[in-house]
A and B are shown apart, each in its own frame.
Chain A
Amino acid sequence: EVQLLESGGGLVQPGGSLRLSCAASGFTFSSYAMSWVRQSLGKGLEWVSAISDSDDNTYYADSVKGRFTISRDNSKTTLYLQMNSLRAEDTAVYYCAKGRGDYQVDAFDIWGQGTMVAVSS
């Protein structure tokens, strides 16, 4: 079964750091670009960051550029999001998502269940 399982969310103070992980299974992880997408409570979807299949290229939304770092370990079939200098507006459910095809920019056909990040003092 194709599956993505996020972990690492929690409550953190403003200015703090958190590292999210997304464990992939059931598909050839190294062949697909991956992304993080977030959703604030009761709000819409916001793309956060993406990484190419071979880890050569990374992309970020302006709202997180310079604070978040996306990475992947294809040997562990795991995607990561290192989040530093966290702000209240980063509070959201964070989803990892798999690109549908072998394009480096693609629709997302598989999503994880999400992990909640709350930034508050």
Chain B
Amino acid sequence: DIQMTQSPSTLSASVGDRVTITCRASQSISRWLAWYQQKPGKAPELLIYKASSLESGVPSRFSGSGSGTEFTLTISSLQPDDFATYYCQHYNSYPLTFGGGTKVEIK
């Protein structure tokens, strides 16, 4: 099974900061990677698919990059609505796996 490792697990940042979250796969997944945002008590929401494609309706301050085993999610200018937990997920093959999550907190 493919393991997904996210870092950091927690990130403290201020409004306006540039934020980068990293996700590493235990083997190559090409570009079959998605990023989700989850707020407390809510279902996850898709932000990025195929490593760098922005889901419809998602603000352009979110961007994704990478291929193979190394991926990043970048928020160019953190907004108050962005304080949440972010998960990466591979969909190269079954079984699907998620990263452990990165909680973005207010500094």
Using CB atoms and an 8 Å cutoff, list the residues of chain A in contact with chain B: 35, 44-47, 50, 59-62, 95, 100, 105-109, 111-114
Contact = CB atoms under 8 A, between A and B. Distances in A.
A11 to B, nearest CB: 19
B94 A111 contact: no
Contact of B46 (A47, A100, A114): A100
Interface string B1-15: 100000000000000
Contact of A44 (B43, B50, B101): B101
Tell me what chain B mostly uses at the interface: helix, strand, loop, or mixed.
Answer: loop
B96 A35 contact: yes
A95 B91 CA distance: 17
A106 B95 CA distance: 12
10 contacts: A45-B87, A45-B89, A46-B98, A47-B89, A50-B96, A100-B49, A105-B94, A107-B91, A108-B36, A114-B43
A117 B56 CA distance: 32
A35 B46 CA distance: 15
B100 interface: yes
B93 interface: yes
Interface string B77-92: 0000000000101011
Given A45-B87, A45-B89, A108 B98 contact: no
B34 interface: yes
B46 A108 contact: yes
A121 B47 CA distance: 39
B95 A109 contact: no
B96 A105 contact: yes
Nearest to A110: B46
A59 B94 contact: yes
B20 to A, nearest CB: 20
A61 B96 CA distance: 8
A62 B79 CA distance: 39
Closest 5 CB pairs of A and B: A107-B34, A111-B43, A47-B96, A59-B94, A107-B49
